[in-house]
Structure 1
Amino acid sequence: MNQNTNKTVLILGANSDVAKQCIRQYIQKGFSVIAASRNTKSLKDFVAANHLDPSKITVLYFDAADFDSHQSFYNQLPAKPHIVVYAAGFLVDNQEALTDFKGAKQMMEVNYMGGVSILNIIAMDQSNKNLERIIGLSSLSGVRGRKSNFVYGSTKAAFTQYLAGLRQELAFRRITVNALVIGYIRTKINEGLQLNESLIMEPDYVAKFIVNAGNSFTIVPNFKWKIIYFILKILPESLVAKLP
């Protein structure tokens, strides 16, 4: 019997391309999956198209920006999760974010505030003895502020710092917290952007790092992105200012 047969994964923002591949891979490893998103139809279509075992997956409605609904959403889960993946994300162009606060606000709500809201609820439920891991999807955009995407990057930077503190908060309960710091992925959120093709990762490739996350806090998929991550960390401000 697969050792994960009785374990449940909750994926929040499960309609993203990476999250959908996580669903498939977690089920292959024997987990049951609760996939939560605003677009439940797309998730159900994905389950049917990939011939996934319907007994192993539950699709639920979840709105990351509807903070008032988060407690009732959690209370009504069919099972308390062993693993939680926060994959909800939203992106608008930096110029749009600078000139129209509506887009900036939505990025803050989905990328950061929604994560803090629901993960606080999950993490503080000490009656859930199942919980063993929380994984948050962050971005290389949050490592340093760059003029091309600093509004979006600021939401990811805030989320990474939140996850770092949450990791310390939950360490005594032996709950692992990971931050996936991700570069370019071939997903619908990046359609139309002029990106370096040699740096683009496929969603199923990134999903493997999530599903097989170890103990390290920061996980950077792909050695090229690892190099970029460490360069960004140490680059002097005068050189960061010259980046696009």
Structure 2
Amino acid sequence: MSKGPVLILGARSDIGLAVAHNFASLGHPIQLAARNVDDLEANRNDIATRHNVDVTLHAFDALDQDSHAGFIDSLPELPQIAACAVGYMGEQSDNEQDMAAAALVMRSNYEGPASILGELANRFEARGSGTLVGISSVAGLRGRATNYVYGSAKAGFTAFLSGLRNRLAKKGVHVITVLPGFVATRMTEDMDLPAKLTAQPDEVADKIANAVERGKNIIYVRPIWRLIMAVICSIPEGVFKKLEL
């Protein structure tokens, strides 16, 4: 039986490419979507050759919401699985002082991803099948002084995915929320990350493929993050204000 195509939104990212390789290795055709997508021609050829599947490139801008419906219409086939790896962290110090910088982070991590997944959700619902995967962050589970702009956007995205999952639960459409914790990518390469808490992009991709197969709803890539965030979220606000997190 042929397997349905997988759409990767934000295919330029390390996680996006890892997810593409993983699903291609399982026999799924791949649709790579990103800005300046022609730059991904080498990646397209690599995935197609290595895994012997069809791979197509598609221009996509998460921030251009008016283009999202047309973008979906332009795909060669409505995907069976769509994974959104769109994201932008920025610098908290800049985001605090420059509201335009803060807005870019908020739109990149919440508004844009929610818009495109919302459009896809309606198409999947009309068809009666499909899986939507949103890569959010543990940073959205409680606001911390060191990254609250990014964290607030991810909190919004996490809540959106939760509501979408609840809405579509009886419509044949599955929604997965991914909470990776630290991941070793180009976005975090300047950070001093603890090895035991830091996943690799391939690890994230494996967890996503497993969650799709098993019908999981919320996944922590490394289970220890569930405990860490439970502790952080349980700290009383009066005490939390005194901490440097």
Instruction: Give the TM-score normalised by structure 1.
Output: 0.92
Q: Distance in 1 between matches of 2:98 and 2:66?
A: 25
Q: Distance in 1 between matches of 2:156 and 2:124?
A: 25
CA distance 1:105–1:187, change in 2 (3 Å)? same
Contact between 2:184 and 2:198, CA under 8 Å: does it hold in 1? Answer: yes
Give the aligned CA root-mean-square deviation in angstroms.
1.8
Q: Distance in 1 between matches of 2:46 and 2:120?
A: 31
Moved more, 211-220 or 154-163: 211-220
Secondary structure (helix, strand or coil) at the match of 1:166 reads helix
Aligned partner of 1:176 in structure 2 is 174
Contact between 1:9 and 1:85, CA under 8 Å: does it hold in 2? Answer: yes
Aligned partner of 1:158 in structure 2 is 156
Q: Distance in 2 between matches of 1:239 and 1:47?
A: 50
Secondary structure (helix, strand or coil) at the match of 1:172 reads coil
CA distance 1:195–1:124, change in 2 (3 Å)? same
Moved more, 93-102 or 194-203: 194-203
Encode CA deviations 1:163-182: one digit per residue, 9 max, x unaligned: 00000111121211111011
Task: Say how many residue pairs are matched.
Answer: 241
CA distance 1:94–1:73, change in 2 (3 Å)? same
Does 1:234 find its partner at 2:221?
no
Q: Distance in 1 between matches of 2:34 and 2:124?
A: 25
Aligned partner of 2:216 in structure 1 is 216
Gaps of 5+ in 1: none
Aligned partner of 1:124 in structure 2 is 122
How far apart are residue 55 of structure 1 and its match?
A: 4.6
How far apart are residue 232 of structure 1 and its match?
A: 2.5
Contact between 2:38 and 2:57, CA under 8 Å: does it hold in 1? Answer: no
Gaps of 5+ in 2: none
Moved more, 47-56 or 119-128: 47-56
Aligned partner of 2:23 in structure 1 is 26
Instruction: Give the TM-score normalised by structure 2.
Output: 0.91
How far apart are residue 196 of structure 1 and its match?
A: 2.1
Aligned partner of 1:72 in structure 2 is 70
What are the equivalent positions in structure 2 for 1:71-150 lying under 5 Å apart? 71-125=69-123, 128-129=126-127, 131-150=129-148
Secondary structure (helix, strand or coil) at the match of 1:178 reads strand
- Amino acid in structure 1 at the alignment position of 2:79: P
Q: Distance in 2 between matches of 1:95 and 1:143?
A: 20
- Amino acid in structure 1 at the alignment position of 2:26: K
- Amino acid in structure 1 at the alignment position of 2:235: L
Aligned partner of 1:44 in structure 2 is 41
Secondary structure (helix, strand or coil) at the match of 1:59 reads strand
CA distance 1:140–1:127, change in 2 (3 Å)? closer
Q: Distance in 2 between matches of 1:192 and 1:32?
A: 34
Does 1:201 find its partner at 2:199?
yes
Contact between 2:125 and 2:172, CA under 8 Å: does it hold in 1? Answer: no
Aligned partner of 1:7 in structure 2 is 4
- Amino acid in structure 1 at the alignment position of 2:34: S
* Identical amino acids, percent of aligned pairs: 32
Secondary structure (helix, strand or coil) at the match of 1:36 reads strand
Contact between 1:82 and 1:130, CA under 8 Å: does it hold in 2? Answer: no
Secondary structure (helix, strand or coil) at the match of 1:121 reads helix
Secondary structure (helix, strand or coil) at the match of 1:125 reads helix
